[in-house]
Structures are given as structure tokens and as C-alpha cells.
Homo-oligomer: A and B are copies of this chain.
């Protein structure tokens, strides 16, 4: 239980109304409630960083999804990292750093099953556990390696190449000996791709002929396309697949709504002619192998082979508008909300 030195108030971000498209600030409200008491077996966590993820759009959508839809009046589902400040579980001690589905709130009384992991990489920044050593890095790790199956010498094209997941995917592909091509929006992000994330080529899709740029950057065709967009960028990349290409569907950020369902050029003929494979990825399926990925990512991070960017917003009042900010593509790297120490 929180000591008397802890503030008695827990600020929570609740879902107020159901968005039809991208969640905006007005779909949420901030409520002040008492800091909860942990129940039997539970752990009380003080959150240090809240995560902002594209997947949160799906979690509040009325359209059927891979997890239960967040109800109106419920705390917004979110990953967070924080410190155990009271524990009624034998597996967690006060002072442990933990990461899990703690929601957009300052304090969370949670059952151990909501805790994804204890953070043991004490030499590395805690916030990395929500990014390159967390969901985004682990997503990139498994989605690229298990679905993309890149081999040394393969050409790997990444959309949202400067983003949290994309930049990790591009760098992991580079570590694996691939020729990496990043597609991103704007000259600043393109420069970031080349200079910080080590892409062999970076394409700014906002200028010039994307088709010609891909043909130039991937002259032997695209062996692996790691996609987070599901839109016109993908439609162009599909015309450049190599035989037996693998397309990893990791996100659909370019689609503002799934009601009505968006249309686009049909993929079947591309897949048939190139005997290519297109496959969807959700991290939950790899939860049991999480530590394998963190160990590899932490190793590359310490060895200077993996770099990341963060954009940190200060204070929980930034949370309601943060998903929309993500979908506008304004952030560079992993978007986080830091809560007062």
C-alpha cells in the first residue's frame, strides 16, 4: 500500500465516447480517484511512463478485434512501466520495476497476470522498456524474423521506417545482413533513417515518384516488405515484389477507419505471380518468448548496433490527444508520456 508520503489521488484517463475513426482528445476524460489498495495477490504500481501505441485505436474500436474492446467509462488500456510501491504477491517486491498493461493512469492495482515482465536491464533507461526493449522492439523482432524470415543479402523494405517499430525492424534486418530500404515522410525523417538507423536507402514518399524510387533502391525486387501502413505506399511496394517475397502486416496506420471498409488494388495477382506470402502479426502470440527478444535487443543496444528515438510528452494530461498525434505522424520515434516522479 502507498505510504503516507504518496499523494492520495490517482489521475486516470477514461474512455468517454467511442471514436468512429482515430481517437481524439475529446473521446477521453481525466478523472481523479483515490489511489487504489492492492487486493489479495495484487501489486500496486506507480507508473513512470505510459505508452502511446497505434494498436490503441483498435482497442477502442467497435469493429471486432483481437482483444476485448475498452468499455465506455473504463480506464484506457495501455502499456506502462513503473515501480512496485506495495505488493501482496510473493513474486513482486517493493522497488521492482515492472512493465505491463497498467492503463493510462498514475497508479494501478494489478494482478500479476497483467504484468508483462520485470525490468532487469537496470543499466539501460527505464523508458526503453516501452520502446526498443518493449512492445515496439519485441514486435519488430518477432514480426521481422518469424514472419519476414530475412536472409543475408535480402532486400528488406520498411514502411514507417523512422517509427518505433519500423526503425527497430530496419536495424535488425541490417544486423542480419540485409539490404535495407526505409520509406518515411519528410526530409528530416529520411535523414534520420540514413544517419541514425543505418538504412542503405531512405525514400521520402512525399516527394517524387515512389514507384521509381523503390525500383532504384530495390533493383532485384523486394524480398521482405515490413508494413505498418496498409495504404498507397503498400500498393506501390507490391508492384516490386521478388519471387517468394514475404509481406509482414504489422500495422495499418494509413487507414483512418474500417467502417466503411477501405478498398485498394487487389493483392491476389501479385501474391500468385510472385508466389509471395502476406501475413498478419500480433505480439500477443509471442508473449511466451518475450525475454528471448529483449535479451537480443538489449545486446544489440549495448553493442551500439541498435539506436532508438523517443518523443516524451510530460504529464498525464497529454495522454488523451496522443493517439491522434501518432496517427498524424508528428512524432519521431516511440511516443511516451512521462509522469511526475
Task: Please give the residue numbers on chain A whose beta carbons come within 8 Å of chain B beta carbons, in ascending order.
Answer: 58, 64-66, 227, 230, 234, 243, 249-252, 255, 258, 261-282, 285
Contact = CB atoms under 8 A, between A and B. Distances in A.
Contacts of A234: 268
Contact of A264 (B266, B271, B272): B266
A282 B277 contact: no
Contact of A255 (B258, B261, B266, B270): B266
A36 to B, nearest CB: 32
A296 B43 CA distance: 58
B273 A276 contact: no
A205 to B, nearest CB: 17
Contact of A271 (B249, B268, B272): B249
Given A262-B266, A263-B264, A266-B263, A273 B65 contact: yes
B277 A278 contact: yes
Given A258-B269, A273-B280, 20 more contacts: A227-B268, A230-B266, A230-B269, A249-B272, A250-B272, A251-B272, A252-B269, A255-B266, A261-B269, A263-B264, A263-B266, A264-B266, A268-B280, A270-B280, A271-B278, A272-B280, A274-B280, A275-B281, A277-B279, A277-B280
A165 to B, nearest CB: 13
B273 A281 contact: no
Nearest to A65: B273
Contacts of A273: 58, 64-66, 280, 282
B280 A279 contact: no
A259 to B, nearest CB: 11
Nearest to A238: B261
Given A266-B230, A266-B255, A266-B262, A279 B271 contact: yes
Nearest to A272: B280
A266 B261 contact: yes
